[in-house]
């Protein structure tokens, strides 16, 4: 009886080892600084996903595609899944969703020398607000339509940051991580040091790993990923990767 039990235990342990050493294949697209073939670890979001799986003994291979194709290839089960996506009812029919991988935020950038706080839209009335042509600013455009503010639109983000430095505008709406990446890529350290952002987000977007329901064992793999992600967050490395990205360490 004991020998049979030990044999079953041995077989079970081997099956777990095989499962733990598997490779998962995920599609993704270019979205710097979150995801990019040109960044270390393919960007900090890919780094987070890789390390969360690694804590559960699973390797990750990334397949970069245009976003539309990346989604379609994951949808039909050609690959295990894709990173990173927001939730919507249509996608939830076909994919298992992970816990939150990263929260994207749109915030107001401003100079440290400008004393700025806002808690509601009325706090923005009377400010010189910058914007880039072609971008949608739902909150600001609503106020603009009401005649409460004017948005000073220019052709490029570069011009908007320049207007901030020249104090021709007070605030400028931008994605938090994309904004700091632009600063790191284009300005000298002494100029970068002049910038900050208001901590209150204008918009929050929650991004997730999605795994196709067409692939066997994906539900189990999602359970392992969520467990690894919790461990990564608890270790402090999760926040470390985000901070390092904002400091330009993934270039």
Mean pLDDT over all residues of the chain? Answer: 90
Query: Region 38-44: what's the mean pLDDT?
Result: 95
pLDDT of residue 213 exceeding 70, the answer is yes
| Mean predicted confidence (pLDDT) in 155-178 | 92
Q: Which of the pair, 6 or 100, is modelled with greater confidence?
A: 100
Q: What average pLDDT does the segment 132-142 reach?
A: 85
Q: Residue 20's pLDDT is what?
A: 52
Categorize the per-residue pLDDT at 155 as very low, low, confident or very high, splitting at 50, 70 and 90. confident
What was the pLDDT predicted at 4? Answer: 52
Would you place residue 182 in the very low, low, confident or very high pLDDT band (cuts 50, 70, 90)? Answer: confident
Higher pLDDT, 50 or 87: 50
Confidence of residue 224 (pLDDT cuts 50, 70, 90): very high
Name every residue whose Cβ is closer than 8 Å to that of residue 56 and which is 6 or more positions away in sequence: 20, 224, 225, 227, 228
> Is pLDDT larger for residue 21 or for residue 121?
121
Q: What percent of the chain has pLDDT over 90?
A: 72
| CA dihedral of residues 85, 80, 93, 86 (deg, nearest 10) | -10
Task: Specify the pairing of strand 59-64 against strand 102-111.
Answer: unpaired
pLDDT of residue 5: 47
- R_g (Cα) of the chain, nearest Å: 22
104-203 matches 18-103+206-246 in CATH topology:
yes
207 pLDDT more than 70 = yes
In this prediction, residues 36-63 reach a mean pLDDT of 97
Residue range 18-103+206-246 in CATH 3.90.245.10:
no
Distance (Å, rounded) from C-alpha 187 to C-alpha 222?
Answer: 41
CATH number, domain 104-203: 3.40.190.10
| Confidence (pLDDT) at 205 | 82
As a whole number, mean pLDDT of residues 90-100 equals 96
Extents of the domains making up the chain: 18-103+206-246, 104-203
Cα separation, 99 vs 76, in Å, equals 22
| 3-31 per-position pLDDT tens digit | 554 444 444 444 444 355 799 999 998 88
Residue located via tokens 């598997």:
22
Helix axes 218-235, 237-246, angle to 10 degrees: 80
Query: Which tens digit of pLDDT belongs to each residue from 230-248?
Result: 999 999 999 999 999 888 8
Q: Is residue 64 pLDDT above 70, yes or no? A: yes
């Amino acid at each position: 009886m004991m020998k049979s039990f030990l044999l079953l235990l041995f077989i079970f342990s081997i099956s777990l080892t095989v499962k733990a050493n598997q490779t998962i294949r995920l599609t993704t697209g270019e979205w710097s600084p979150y995801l990019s073939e040109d960044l270390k670890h393919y960007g900090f979001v890919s780094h987070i996903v890789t390390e969360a799986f690694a804590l559960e003994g699973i390797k990750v291979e990334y397949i970069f595609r245009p976003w539309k194709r990346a989604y379609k290839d994951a949808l039909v089960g050609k690959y295990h899944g894709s990173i990173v996506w927001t939730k919507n009812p249509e996608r939830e029919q076909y994919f298992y969703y992970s816990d939150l991988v990263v929260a994207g935020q749109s915030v107001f950038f401003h100079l440290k020398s400008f004393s700025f706080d806002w808690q509601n839209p009325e706090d923005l009335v009377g400010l010189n607000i910058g914007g880039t042509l072609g971008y949608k600013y739902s909150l600001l455009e609503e106020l603009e339509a009401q005649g409460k503010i004017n948005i000073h639109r220019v052709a490029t983000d570069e011009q908007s940051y320049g207007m901030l430095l020249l104090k021709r505008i007070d605030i400028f709406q931008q994605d938090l991580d994309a904004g700091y990446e632009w600063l790191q890529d284009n300005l000298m350290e002494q100029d970068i040091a002049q910038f900050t952002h208001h901590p209150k987000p204008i918009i929050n977007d929650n991004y997730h790993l999605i795994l196709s329901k067409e692939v066997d064992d994906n539900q189990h793999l999602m359970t392992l990923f969520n467990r690894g992600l919790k461990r990564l967050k608890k270790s402090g490395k999760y926040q470390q990767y985000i901070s390092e990205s904002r400091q330009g360490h993934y270039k």
